[in-house]
Amino acid sequence: MTVAMSTPLTYSQIVEVFTRFRNDCAEPKGELDHVNAFTLVVAVALSAQATDKGVNRATQELFRIADTPQKMLDLGEEGVTEHIRTIGLYRNKAKNVIKLSRILVEDFGGEVPSSRAALESLPGVGRKTANVVLNMWFKHPAQAVDTHIFRVGNRTGLAMGKDVVAVERAIEDRVPAQFQQHAHHWLILHGRYTCKARKPDCAHCLINDICTFEDKIYDQTL
Protein backbone atom coordinates (compact mmCIF):
# COMPACT_ATOMS: atom_id res chain seq x y z
CA MET A 1 0.00 0.00 0.00
CA THR A 2 1.62 3.24 -1.14
CA VAL A 3 0.49 6.84 -1.19
CA ALA A 4 2.21 10.17 -1.69
CA MET A 5 2.99 11.83 1.62
CA SER A 6 2.31 15.47 2.42
CA THR A 7 3.63 17.82 5.10
CA PRO A 8 2.55 16.82 8.65
CA LEU A 9 -0.13 19.04 10.16
CA THR A 10 0.50 20.89 13.40
CA TYR A 11 -1.40 20.20 16.61
CA SER A 12 -3.61 23.26 16.17
CA GLN A 13 -4.38 22.26 12.58
CA ILE A 14 -5.34 18.74 13.68
CA VAL A 15 -7.65 20.19 16.33
CA GLU A 16 -9.30 22.36 13.68
CA VAL A 17 -9.71 19.43 11.27
CA PHE A 18 -11.49 17.24 13.81
CA THR A 19 -13.52 20.14 15.14
CA ARG A 20 -14.90 20.59 11.63
CA PHE A 21 -15.56 16.86 11.27
CA ARG A 22 -17.38 16.86 14.62
CA ASN A 23 -19.43 19.94 13.75
CA ASP A 24 -20.46 18.29 10.49
CA CYS A 25 -21.28 14.91 12.08
CA ALA A 26 -21.12 14.71 15.86
CA GLU A 27 -21.82 10.97 16.12
CA PRO A 28 -20.44 9.17 13.05
CA LYS A 29 -21.56 5.56 12.69
CA GLY A 30 -20.16 2.50 10.99
CA GLU A 31 -22.09 1.36 7.94
CA LEU A 32 -22.14 -2.39 8.64
CA ASP A 33 -25.47 -3.64 10.00
CA HIS A 34 -25.27 -5.65 13.23
CA VAL A 35 -27.39 -6.38 16.30
CA ASN A 36 -24.76 -7.36 18.87
CA ALA A 37 -21.02 -7.86 19.33
CA PHE A 38 -21.06 -11.26 17.64
CA THR A 39 -22.81 -10.10 14.48
CA LEU A 40 -20.45 -7.11 14.37
CA VAL A 41 -17.43 -9.44 14.43
CA VAL A 42 -18.93 -11.53 11.65
CA ALA A 43 -19.92 -8.52 9.55
CA VAL A 44 -16.49 -6.92 9.76
CA ALA A 45 -14.77 -10.23 8.98
CA LEU A 46 -17.02 -10.66 5.93
CA SER A 47 -16.31 -7.12 4.73
CA ALA A 48 -12.74 -7.91 3.65
CA GLN A 49 -12.58 -7.35 -0.14
CA ALA A 50 -16.30 -6.58 -0.15
CA THR A 51 -18.46 -3.49 0.16
CA ASP A 52 -20.45 -2.69 3.30
CA LYS A 53 -23.65 -2.58 1.22
CA GLY A 54 -22.94 -6.01 -0.20
CA VAL A 55 -22.27 -7.44 3.25
CA ASN A 56 -25.45 -5.87 4.63
CA ARG A 57 -27.51 -7.46 1.86
CA ALA A 58 -25.97 -10.86 2.51
CA THR A 59 -26.30 -10.76 6.30
CA GLN A 60 -29.81 -9.34 6.56
CA GLU A 61 -31.42 -12.78 6.68
CA LEU A 62 -28.37 -14.53 8.15
CA PHE A 63 -28.38 -12.39 11.29
CA ARG A 64 -32.12 -12.79 11.67
CA ILE A 65 -31.74 -16.53 12.17
CA ALA A 66 -28.18 -16.76 13.54
CA ASP A 67 -27.31 -13.88 15.86
CA THR A 68 -25.28 -15.92 18.37
CA PRO A 69 -22.29 -18.24 18.00
CA GLN A 70 -24.37 -21.31 18.88
CA LYS A 71 -27.10 -20.45 16.37
CA MET A 72 -24.39 -19.96 13.72
CA LEU A 73 -22.96 -23.39 14.54
CA ASP A 74 -26.43 -24.88 14.33
CA LEU A 75 -26.86 -23.34 10.88
CA GLY A 76 -23.65 -25.02 9.71
CA GLU A 77 -21.05 -24.14 7.12
CA GLU A 78 -23.28 -24.89 4.13
CA GLY A 79 -26.08 -22.81 5.59
CA VAL A 80 -23.74 -19.87 6.12
CA THR A 81 -22.37 -20.34 2.60
CA GLU A 82 -25.81 -20.05 1.05
CA HIS A 83 -26.44 -16.72 2.79
CA ILE A 84 -23.11 -15.08 1.89
CA ARG A 85 -22.64 -16.49 -1.62
CA THR A 86 -22.76 -12.99 -3.13
CA ILE A 87 -19.69 -11.88 -1.14
CA GLY A 88 -16.16 -12.34 -2.44
CA LEU A 89 -14.23 -15.33 -1.01
CA TYR A 90 -17.49 -16.57 0.49
CA ARG A 91 -16.45 -20.21 0.91
CA ASN A 92 -13.37 -19.40 2.97
CA LYS A 93 -15.29 -16.77 4.92
CA ALA A 94 -18.05 -19.27 5.74
CA LYS A 95 -15.44 -21.66 7.11
CA ASN A 96 -13.97 -18.90 9.28
CA VAL A 97 -17.39 -17.86 10.57
CA ILE A 98 -18.05 -21.41 11.73
CA LYS A 99 -14.56 -21.77 13.22
CA LEU A 100 -14.74 -18.51 15.14
CA SER A 101 -18.25 -19.36 16.34
CA ARG A 102 -16.99 -22.68 17.71
CA ILE A 103 -14.07 -21.01 19.48
CA LEU A 104 -16.40 -18.40 21.00
CA VAL A 105 -18.66 -21.16 22.33
CA GLU A 106 -15.89 -23.45 23.57
CA ASP A 107 -13.32 -20.95 24.85
CA PHE A 108 -15.23 -17.75 25.63
CA GLY A 109 -18.58 -18.94 26.92
CA GLY A 110 -20.36 -17.74 23.80
CA GLU A 111 -19.32 -14.13 24.44
CA VAL A 112 -17.15 -11.89 22.27
CA PRO A 113 -13.92 -11.06 24.15
CA SER A 114 -12.94 -7.44 24.69
CA SER A 115 -9.17 -7.60 24.21
CA ARG A 116 -7.35 -7.16 20.92
CA ALA A 117 -5.23 -10.29 21.44
CA ALA A 118 -8.27 -12.47 22.15
CA LEU A 119 -10.16 -11.07 19.17
CA GLU A 120 -7.18 -11.63 16.87
CA SER A 121 -7.06 -15.27 17.97
CA LEU A 122 -10.34 -15.82 16.11
CA PRO A 123 -10.13 -17.14 12.51
CA GLY A 124 -10.59 -14.38 9.94
CA VAL A 125 -10.16 -11.63 12.53
CA GLY A 126 -7.11 -9.43 12.04
CA ARG A 127 -5.96 -6.28 13.77
CA LYS A 128 -8.29 -4.01 11.79
CA THR A 129 -11.36 -6.13 12.55
CA ALA A 130 -10.40 -6.34 16.21
CA ASN A 131 -10.02 -2.57 16.40
CA VAL A 132 -13.41 -2.00 14.77
CA VAL A 133 -15.08 -4.23 17.35
CA LEU A 134 -13.19 -2.65 20.25
CA ASN A 135 -14.17 0.82 19.05
CA MET A 136 -17.76 0.30 17.96
CA TRP A 137 -18.98 -2.17 20.57
CA PHE A 138 -16.72 -1.76 23.58
CA LYS A 139 -16.21 2.01 23.12
CA HIS A 140 -12.43 1.70 23.28
CA PRO A 141 -10.66 4.42 21.24
CA ALA A 142 -9.00 1.89 18.93
CA GLN A 143 -8.10 3.05 15.42
CA ALA A 144 -9.05 0.62 12.65
CA VAL A 145 -6.90 1.71 9.72
CA ASP A 146 -8.16 0.61 6.30
CA THR A 147 -7.18 1.80 2.83
CA HIS A 148 -9.33 4.94 3.21
CA ILE A 149 -7.70 6.01 6.48
CA PHE A 150 -4.23 5.13 5.24
CA ARG A 151 -4.78 7.35 2.21
CA VAL A 152 -6.40 10.24 4.11
CA GLY A 153 -3.83 10.17 6.90
CA ASN A 154 -0.90 10.42 4.50
CA ARG A 155 -2.53 12.63 1.87
CA THR A 156 -3.77 15.30 4.27
CA GLY A 157 -0.82 15.27 6.66
CA LEU A 158 -3.04 14.26 9.59
CA ALA A 159 -1.41 10.95 10.46
CA MET A 160 1.42 9.77 8.27
CA GLY A 161 3.10 6.38 8.07
CA LYS A 162 4.51 3.83 5.64
CA ASP A 163 2.08 1.09 6.65
CA VAL A 164 -1.29 0.76 8.36
CA VAL A 165 0.20 0.08 11.80
CA ALA A 166 2.35 3.21 11.54
CA VAL A 167 -0.72 5.28 10.60
CA GLU A 168 -2.68 3.69 13.46
CA ARG A 169 0.02 4.74 15.90
CA ALA A 170 0.22 8.19 14.34
CA ILE A 171 -3.50 8.71 14.94
CA GLU A 172 -3.15 7.52 18.54
CA ASP A 173 -0.15 9.78 19.09
CA ARG A 174 -1.23 12.91 17.23
CA VAL A 175 -5.02 13.17 17.47
CA PRO A 176 -6.18 14.91 20.69
CA ALA A 177 -7.96 12.73 23.23
CA GLN A 178 -11.38 14.36 22.80
CA PHE A 179 -11.50 13.16 19.17
CA GLN A 180 -10.03 9.67 19.59
CA GLN A 181 -13.31 7.75 19.98
CA HIS A 182 -14.72 8.81 16.62
CA ALA A 183 -11.48 9.58 14.74
CA HIS A 184 -11.42 6.46 12.59
CA HIS A 185 -15.07 6.84 11.56
CA TRP A 186 -14.61 10.47 10.54
CA LEU A 187 -11.54 9.52 8.52
CA ILE A 188 -13.21 6.52 6.87
CA LEU A 189 -16.23 8.56 5.83
CA HIS A 190 -14.00 11.38 4.59
CA GLY A 191 -11.97 8.94 2.51
CA ARG A 192 -15.00 7.07 1.20
CA TYR A 193 -17.05 10.07 0.09
CA THR A 194 -14.72 13.07 -0.30
CA CYS A 195 -11.01 12.27 -0.30
CA LYS A 196 -11.44 9.45 -2.81
CA ALA A 197 -8.46 7.57 -4.19
CA ARG A 198 -8.50 8.52 -7.88
CA LYS A 199 -10.45 11.74 -7.81
CA PRO A 200 -10.58 13.55 -4.47
CA ASP A 201 -13.45 16.05 -4.30
CA CYS A 202 -11.32 18.91 -3.03
CA ALA A 203 -13.91 21.48 -4.13
CA HIS A 204 -16.34 20.20 -1.50
CA CYS A 205 -13.82 19.21 1.18
CA LEU A 206 -14.34 20.51 4.72
CA ILE A 207 -10.60 20.78 5.29
CA ASN A 208 -9.22 21.76 1.87
CA ASP A 209 -7.66 24.95 3.31
CA ILE A 210 -5.76 22.92 5.93
CA CYS A 211 -4.87 19.75 4.03
CA THR A 212 -1.29 19.81 2.72
CA PHE A 213 -1.93 17.57 -0.30
CA GLU A 214 -0.18 19.24 -3.24
CA ASP A 215 -2.21 17.74 -6.11
CA LYS A 216 -5.66 18.99 -5.13
CA ILE A 217 -8.45 18.60 -7.68
CA TYR A 218 -11.09 21.32 -7.88
CA ASP A 219 -12.37 20.80 -11.42
CA GLN A 220 -14.56 17.66 -11.21
CA THR A 221 -15.04 17.64 -14.99
CA LEU A 222 -11.46 16.52 -15.55
Question: Are the C-beta atoms of 40 and 95 separated by less than 8 Å?
Answer: no
**Residue 146 known to be catalytic:** yes
Active-site residue identified among 128, 162, 199, 215: 128
Active-site residue identified among 33, 99, 107, 146: 146
* DSSP string of the chain, one letter each residue: ------PPPPHHHHHHHHHHHHHH-SS---SS--SSHHHHHHHHHHTTTS-HHHHHHHHHHHHHH--SHHHHHHHHHHHHHHHSTTSTTHHHHHHHHHHHHHHHHHHSTTS---SHHHHHTSTT--HHHHHHHHHHTT--------HHHHHHHHHHSSS--SSHHHHHHHHHHHS-GGGHHHHHHHHHHHHHHTS-SSS--GGG-TTTTT---SS----TT-
CA 166, 184, 16, 4 torsion-angle sign:
positive
**Residue 209 known to be catalytic:** no
Catalytic residues: 128, 146
